[in-house]
Homo-oligomer: A and B are copies of this chain.
Amino acid sequence: MRPNKVKALWRAGKPALVGWMSLADTFAAETMAHSGFDALVLDMQHGMGIGPDRAATWLQAVSATETVPIVRVPWNEPAYVQWVLDAGAYGVIIPLVGTREEAVKAAGACRYAPLGYRSVGPNRARYYAGADYLQHANEEIICLVMIEDIKAIDRLDQIASVPGVDGLYIGPWDLAMTMGIDPATYAKNAQHAAACNKVLEAAKRHKLVPGTHVNSPEEALQRFQQGFLFAPVTSDTRNLSTGSAAALNLVRAGLGK
């Protein structure tokens, strides 16, 4: 089976530098996949209604590169996990995991029996990964569960100890909302920082990967320096917006507008 480069980085204690994608467009995928990220995450949860069909062609587009394809599924439901793993995703991020039961459901969807309840049929995955996929998938496929509710912070050990979970991924905006904090201000909020720190510590304690969503390359760097091992350094839509604004500003300034 083609080794999962992100898992290899983590085994070496190194962070994975990730590109985040809200566009399912396959040419955008190739453009991002040729940009040097360790992995790309396609976000099926938020934005422009991405279903399994477009996720699958996105996975094909990324397949011709060395960038590891990961998908954030729309919900903690096994059908979504199954779709993207069978189509060749090398990892999933599963939102809204707040209890041990939800973690068991999430992890089980990623693992074949006897570890979990994933159904056998990696039809496209075998093209990407190799004919021995079935033998190694339980080991190589990444399962990150999202911690994004303040109530989950109290259950971190119950969640983190579920076999098959590879890491904890913070959703800082939702976490803020459940704490009554304006999400636009979370970065300056001590309580929020404390909650995130608990996730980082729990991950370390359980030998899991600590990851977190961020809003800028600067925040990603800071998180990596803090010990997080998985974070998006930028996203496709951020690149489109900031690149356009910078170009327009440069030209307008030059023209004296």
- CB atoms of B82 and A35 under 8 A apart: no
- CB atoms of B75 and A78 under 8 A apart: yes
One of B22, B51, B119 near A148 (C-beta < 8 A): B119
Tell me whether A48 and B240 are in contact in the complex, defined as CB-CB below 8 angstroms, given that A17-B248, A119-B148, A247-B234 are known contacts. no
Most interface-central of A25, A243, A245, A255 (chain B CB within 10 A): A243
Most interface-central of A36, A52, A75, A119 (chain B CB within 10 A): A119
- CB atoms of B15 and A22 under 8 A apart: no
A161 within 8 A of B: no
Tell me whether A245 and B35 are in contact in the complex, defined as CB-CB below 8 angstroms, given that A79-B77, A217-B250, A255-B225 are known contacts. yes
Q: Is the interface of A mostly helix, strand, loop or mixed?
A: helix
A183 within 8 A of B: yes
- CB atoms of A57 and B54 under 8 A apart: no
In this complex, how many residues of chain A approach chain B with their Cβ under 8 Å: the count is: 96
CB-CB contacts below 8 Å: A18-57 with B: 19, 22-28, 30-32, 34-37, 43, 45-57
One of B82, B112, B243, B247 near A46 (C-beta < 8 A): B82
A1 within 8 A of B: no
Kindly specify which of A162-170, A173-181, A198-206 makes contact with the partner chain: A173-181
Give chain B nearest CB distance to A115 CB in angstroms. 10
In whole angstroms, what is the CA distance A52 to B79 when docked? 13
* A47 / chain B contacts, CB cutoff of 8 Å: 27, 86-87, 121, 123-124
- CB atoms of B28 and A244 under 8 A apart: no
Offer 12 A-B interface pairs, CB within 8 angstroms, sorted by A: A27-B56, A27-B123, A35-B244, A45-B119, A46-B123, A49-B55, A74-B79, A77-B77, A113-B177, A114-B178, A236-B240, A240-B240
One of B28, B45, B50, B96 near A28 (C-beta < 8 A): B28
The number of times this chain is found in the oligomer is 6
* A4 / chain B contacts, CB cutoff of 8 Å: none
Tell me whether A237 and B31 are in contact in the complex, defined as CB-CB below 8 angstroms, given that A52-B50, A119-B96, A174-B113 are known contacts. yes
A61 within 8 A of B: yes
* A32 / chain B contacts, CB cutoff of 8 Å: 240, 244
Which chain B residue shows the least CB distance to A112? B177
* A174 / chain B contacts, CB cutoff of 8 Å: 113, 119-120
